């Protein structure tokens, strides 16, 4: 990341930090001088993120957490405060995909699972984070929504619904807690180069690229850059924003691109 931020003396709590966007964000906060509370349900990935931060000279601690456990969320946030003395920034990033089937074919179990992790769990986290930040006099919260929170894609009903809800949750929390000195924003990534995407068949990837004007995926670090900006003093008057980081995906009508057709 070329832009430099200074989070020295601040504590940042990141969920889903064992891989992907969460890991990139945790590493970026560590490089910017923050005390980084690395949280993930999977211990090996979380511990690896901690080691990467420490090897680069940063300060980090791992806190294992299932974000769907509301009591566990409250205990973990309290443990972060005990360890580092406070909480200044939170990146609520943990999330999962839904099954890729038509909306009415999605199972009730999958619906509940995705909504619980991608929407309800962020509510649990914000409740705990705001309680601490209020006492500290303010803070910044950044949620990971998705481009799917701004438009609908085929065969992703539970995920699309949860991410739309997360955008609304972000805006509601932003207006209610601005008076507490707490800003709440969201990033809405498009396609991101992660191990999951690496398993996508080539024809599917080619079709995906038709909807991306820049014709490439984002790196996790590019999304992390948006998170750090929203959490920084440079975004001090930015509140309730759902920021697309998507190369123009959400403004393009892919049906107008005929470049792949032999006409």
Active site amino acids: 159
- The residues, any chain, with a CB within 8 Å of residue 48's CB and separated by 6 or more, are 18
- C-alpha neighbours within 13 Å on the C-beta side of residue 182: 28
Of 155, 154, 151, 215, nearest in space to 188 by CA: 151
Q: Where are the alpha helices (DSSP H) in 85-212?
A: 108-115, 121-136, 157-177, 195-198, 202-210
Q: Phi and psi for 154 in degrees, rounded to 5?
A: -70, 145
Give the orientation angle of helix 157-177 with respect to helix 121-136, to 10 degrees. 20
Provide the strand spans (E) within the chain.
Answer: 11-14, 35-40, 59-64, 89-92, 139-144, 182-189, 242-245
End-to-end CA distance of the chain: 42
What is the C-alpha separation between 56 and 173, in angstroms, rounded? 34
Helix (DSSP H) and strand (DSSP E) numbers for the chain: 9, 7
């Amino acid at each position: 990341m070329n832009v430099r931020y200074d989070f020295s003396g601040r504590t940042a709590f990141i969920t889903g930090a064992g891989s992907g966007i969460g890991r990139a964000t945790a590493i970026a906060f560590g490089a910017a001088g923050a005390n980084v509370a690395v949280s993930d349900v999977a211990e090996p990935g979380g511990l690896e993120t901690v080691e990467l931060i420490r090897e680069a000279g940063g300060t980090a601690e791992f806190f294992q957490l299932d974000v769907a456990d509301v009591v566990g969320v409250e205990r973990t946030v309290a443990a972060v405060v005990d360890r580092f003395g406070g909480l200044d920034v939170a990146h609520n990033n943990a999330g999962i995909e839904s099954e890729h089937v038509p909306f009415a074919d999605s199972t009730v179990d999958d619906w509940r699972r995705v909504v619980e992790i991608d929407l309800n769990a962020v509510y649990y986290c914000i409740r705990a984070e705001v309680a601490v930040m209020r006492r500290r006099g303010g803070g910044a919260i950044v949620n990971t929504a998705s481009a799917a929170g701004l438009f609908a894609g085929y065969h992703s009903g539970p995920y699309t619904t949860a991410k739309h809800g997360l955008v609304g949750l972000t805006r509601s929390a932003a207006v209610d807690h601005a008076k507490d000195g707490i800003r709440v924003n969201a990033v809405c990534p498009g396609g991101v180069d992660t191990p999951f995407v690496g398993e996508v068949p080539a024809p599917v990837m080619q079709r995906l690229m038709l909807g991306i004007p820049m014709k490439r995926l984002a790196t996790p670090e590019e999304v992390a850059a948006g998170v750090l900006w929203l959490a920084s003093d440079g975004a001090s008057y930015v509140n309730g924003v759902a920021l697309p980081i998507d190369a123009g995906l959400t403004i393009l009508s892919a049906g107008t691109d005929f470049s792949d057709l032999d006409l």
